[in-house]
Amino acid sequence: MTIGILDYGIYIPRRRLQRSAIHTANAWFAPGMKGLARGEKAVANWDEDPVTMAVEAARSCLGDRAREAVDSVVLASTSHPFADRQNSGIVKEALNLGDAVSSMDFGGGLRAGVSALASALLQPSRTTLCMAAERRGTKPGSEAEMTYGDAAAAILVGEGEPVAKLLGHHAVSADFVDHFRAGNAETDYNWESRWVRDEGYLKLGAGALRQALEKTGLEASSVDHLIVPIVTRGIAAQMAKKAGIPEDAVCDVLLSEVGDTGAAHPLLLLAMVLEKAQAGETVVLVGYGQGAEVLVFEVMPAVEAARQGRCDAALARKSPELNYMRHLAFTGSLSYELGMRAEQDQKTALTALYRNRKAVLGLVGGKCTRTGTVQFPKSDISVNQNERAIGTQEDYPLADVPARILTFTADSLTYSPDPPSRYGMVEFEGGGRMMAEFVDADESDIAVGRQMRMAFRIKAIDEQRQFKRYFWKAIPAVSASGMEG
């Protein structure tokens, strides 16, 4: 059996902020940003963060695979929601993986995603779900606000019939500080761009790329796909030229569609390339940040069977966002008067969360082994009206079970960060019902009988204690326009 990449998946938020909206709102202060005001970028909803996006990317990657096959999960990000709570551990619970699974967070720089993937590939005895996700803060009117995007990617690594196998790995480390963010800061501080370009990208980065080719014995002319996750115009082409790699091998960095997704960007672009690459082709992936890390892959025949159009579907699933004020509110850059209804204490009983973590984080219900009745939440007594069986229920995961709307309402009185609050009763295919919030949905997307799928999201934020509560919400499986959700 060969060690390599077994599968891949990505998640791109539905909302796409138009850069023209950013420029229009800030032109009075930063007119020079007009040159960047083209295209759109992916922006997370108020209830999305690196953890929730990583869960969705992982679900796309794993598909119908048995969860028992995963030995470890890793999550790379420079914007982990928790500094002292294992973020990958939350993902593990949401994916309903067993407790005998190791978990680890990677961070500290933008090449964390590539470093996490390299670590997984260099430990052949384990099947590792390697994820990277990012939702970085920016200052209004800044270049970062124009270029940064939100997204996640997941790569499954292990033994089997891989879609790509590792041919070589090379890493260099240097404390070259092109930007930084202090532990108590919310946004990055960036240094002068010409110095970063000349000394960082074109010397340090391009040098590591040349050394990687020499180390693996790979001819530069034989590189079919070069992934350089740097969105500064022309940098990837210049790095390719310095290494002798054909310019047509340089991959699109998705700046105009998604934006710079930080530590997730290399893995996101790798998934996009694998969606189109042919067996026998060579892929070179560069991770940059305080040095560089380079991975060289050969695409294998199994890539044909793995293709399901997931990446194109993720790009196509979008809703243009022109409301810049709403974007500022969702990112926390703008604070509205929320009113008395928002003053409810959101304190989480951590003891109860631990006891009920399968139901709350994994959306695991119960199925009666005697009657087949499905219910959520699971309980000792069955809800079957004809036979109140006791102690007969087994775990029944519902997160991937299709659902449909039975009842719905839109409430403009209750507090919601994105009013009106839409919620109602959903019924799962095969049985089981629950009250659920509806998100990523317009008014036309909500109707009785509408097909829905469950998505892992932030339920509420305890502002007093800075604790996020996660739960599952329902999003349209097919929107009114016919687009898959």
**Is the model's pLDDT at 19 over the cut of 80?**
yes
Inside any domain, residue 482: no
Residue 48 within any structural domain of the chain: yes
Please, which residues have CB within 8 angstroms of residue 125's CB and are 6 or more apart in sequence? Answer: none
Is residue 237 domain-shared with residue 303, that is, in the same domain? Answer: yes
CA 247 to chain centre: 29
- What is the model's pLDDT at position 2? 78
13 lies in a domain? yes
219 with 77, same domain: the answer is: yes
CA distance 169 to 363: 39
Same domain for 288 and 377 = no
From residue 468, give the alpha-carbon distance in Å to each of 106, 176, 282, 439, 452. 20, 34, 42, 18, 24
**Which phi and psi angles does 9 have, rounded to 5°?**
-165, 155
Same domain? 218 vs 360: no
**Secondary structure percentages of the chain, helix, strand, coil, to 5:** 30, 30, 40
Give the pLDDT confidence score for residue 124 in this predicted structure. 74
pLDDT, tens digit (0-9, with 9 covering 90-100), for 154-179: 999 999 999 999 999 999 999 999 99
> Which residues share a beta bridge with 438?
474
Mean pLDDT calculated for residue range 414-442: 95
Number of domains, the chain: 2
**Domain check: are 312 and 198 in the same one?**
yes
Residue 484's pLDDT band (cuts 50, 70, 90): very low
Range of the domain at 384: 356-476
Output the CA torsion sign for 63, 68, 71, 75. Answer: positive
Q: Label residue 397 exposed, middle or buried (CB < 10 Å: 0-12, 13-18, 19+).
A: middle
Are 362 and 94 in contact by the 8 Å Cβ rule? The answer is yes
Phi, psi of 68 (to 5 degrees): -65, -15
Of the candidates 13, 10, 91, the one whose C-alpha atom is nearest the C-alpha of residue 264 is 10
Q: Is the pLDDT of residue 394 over 80?
A: yes
Based on the fold, state whether residues 63 and 210 are members of the same structural domain. yes
In a domain? residue 458: yes
Do 174 and 97 share a domain, yes or no?
yes
Domain presence at residue 52:
yes
pLDDT, the chain, mean = 94
Q: Are strands 433-437 and 421-428 parallel, antiparallel or unpaired?
A: antiparallel
- 312 and 388 together in one domain: no
481, part of any domain:
no
Task: Give the tens place of pLDDT for each residue, 57-94.
Answer: 999 999 988 888 999 999 999 999 999 999 999 999 99
- Give the strand pairing for 403-405 and 421-428: antiparallel
Are residues 320 and 437 located together in one domain of the fold? no
CATH, residue 97: 3.40.47.10
Give the C-alpha separation, 93 to 366, whole Å.
17
What is the distance of C-alpha 414 from the center of its chain?
Answer: 29
| Between 457 and 64, the higher pLDDT residue | 457
Asked whether residue 207 is domain-assigned, the answer is yes
Q: What is the mean pLDDT of residues 356-378?
A: 95
364, 398 contact by CB (below 8 A): yes
Render pLDDT for 100-138 as a digit per residue (tens, 0 to 9): 999 999 999 999 999 999 999 998 778 999 999 999 999
Question: Do 165 and 289 reside in the same domain of the chain?
Answer: yes
Quote the crossing angle between the two packed helices 235-243 and 206-216, to the nearest 10°: 40
Q: Looking at the domain assignment, is residue 341 inside a domain? A: no
Task: Indicate if 102 and 24 belong to the same structural domain.
Answer: yes
371 and 320 co-located in one domain: no
Full-model pTM: 0.95
Whether the CB-CB separation of 365 and 398 falls below 8 Å is answered with yes
194-225 pLDDT, tens digit each: 999 999 999 999 999 999 999 999 999 999 99
